[in-house]
Amino acid sequence: MSRLLALNSRLLLVLLALPLAAFADVEEARVDKAIAAMPQLLAPFDSELDKITKGISAAELDQVAIAGWQTGKQVAQSQGDDRGLYWFRLAGKQRIRQLPLTEAEKAPLLQRFERLTRGIEQVDFGNADKRILLTGFDPFFLDRNIKQSNPSGLAALQLDGTEWQTATGKVRVETVLIPVRFADFDQGMIEQLVQPYLQDNSIDMLVTVSMGRDHFDLERFPGKRRSSVAPDNLNVYTGANASKPLIPPLCHGPLLGPEFVEFSLPVKTMQQAAGDFQINDNREVETLTGTFEANSLEQLREHTAVQGGGGGYLSNEISYRTIRMRDMFNADLPVGHIHTPRISGYDKAKEQAIVEQITEMLMHAAVEL
């Protein structure tokens, strides 16, 4: 494991930014369609977008991105809608591309704008006694429904900076939004994000969240391989399927690790959270030999993963990657994935109920931290 840690730590130093800047226009090409379908979506962000003009400095652009993140949180908290921030990010990147700069000059600006509008640079736990890092995802499958929302993103935006008191002190939640793009995962974004916190033991719980099925699923056994035939938000297909599950890349090599890992969430405590939906301890996996409910990691040792509990897409993968990092650093803390009930398009009432139940899960879990 130490050799694995050393190898992957070296790989994390070689994160590639330029390909993302080159490919991102696939997402940006949907902006006009989104605005036509949701004319008022970007209204709260217009004043910031108008600042992205010729002559804007890098520091000024940073402030636009930070203000956009804050506005996105305000909209999520007041209107129950995560979508504005996603489309603001893309509209902002469109404007950055139009600046009279070389591609080499634009690339770091685009990368920085991405990170600041995802909350990555703003994580600050202050003097909290117990620290929970939570991630949500962007909306996805937008060619099917341009109005699609993602309750995991809404949860991240509403929960960022939330604090409450327990018998053992103050709990604070900090959040980050993750892109639905294979390239970011391939280049080590998830490892780069969580490594400092796990290496320094500076968080007490790490929770990844995405949109899933009919109820809440706590995904016990994430699998290493991709098998989904669905595209990402850049319309990239991996070539994987259920009969040919593929090991994802990590920087310039394959993602190393066992076929399955196991979460460390306080399941029974989290299942006590009241709300509209069931909270399932999901043990179902798919391997090349079939689909079954696993009782232990030992039962999965000789199997090849097709789907973990979270499936064969990026929901499963973010869980696998974060738990793998937990194990690499021998970090003793709860790490795992919450799959939320799915929504079609946008459903304010249902999404708010989802966020409230996630909040209850975290509050129950925090008692044990």
- Which residues have C-beta within 8 Å of that of residue 85, sequence separation ≥ 6? 68, 69, 71, 72, 73, 75, 76, 117, 153, 157, 177
**Kind of pairing between the strands at 163-166 and 216-219:** unpaired
Tell me the per-residue pLDDT of 111-169, one tens digit each, with 9 for 90 and over: 999 999 999 999 999 999 999 999 999 999 999 999 999 999 999 999 999 999 999 99
CA angle 162, 130, 207 (to 5 degrees): 70
Q: What is the pLDDT of residue 25?
A: 82
Q: What is the pLDDT of residues 207-250, one digit of tens each?
A: 999 999 999 999 999 999 999 999 999 999 999 999 999 999 99
Q: Give dist(CA 341, CA 219) in Å, integer.
A: 13
Mapping DSSP onto H, E and C, the string for 233-289 reads: CCCCCCCCECCECECCEECCEECCCCCECCCCCCHHHHCCCCCCCCEEEECEEEECC
- Specify the pLDDT at position 24: 54
pLDDT at 18 over 90: no
The confidence score (pLDDT) of residue 104 equals 96
Identify the structural domains of the chain with CATH numbers, from first to last: 9-122 (no CATH), 124-369 (3.40.630.20)
- Between 345 and 5, the more confident residue is 345
Joined together, the tokens standing for residue 302 give 């000789």
Q: What share of the chain in percent tops pLDDT 90?
A: 93
Does residue 339 surpass a pLDDT of 70?
A: yes
pLDDT of amino acid 16: 39
Whether residue 348 contacts residue 80, with contact meaning beta carbons closer than 8 Å, is answered with yes
Q: Do 133 and 200 touch, CB atoms closer than 8 A? A: no
pTM: 0.93
Structure confidence by residue, pLDDT tens digits, 20-34:
444 458 999 999 999
What is the percent of the chain with per-residue pLDDT over 70, rounded to a whole number? Answer: 93
The DSSP code for 170 is: E
Q: Are the CB atoms for 312 and 225 separated by under 8 Å?
A: yes
pLDDT at 299 > cutoff 60: yes
Of the listed ranges 2-11, 70-79, 111-120, 337-346, the one predicted with least confidence:
2-11
| Residue-level pLDDT at 79 | 98
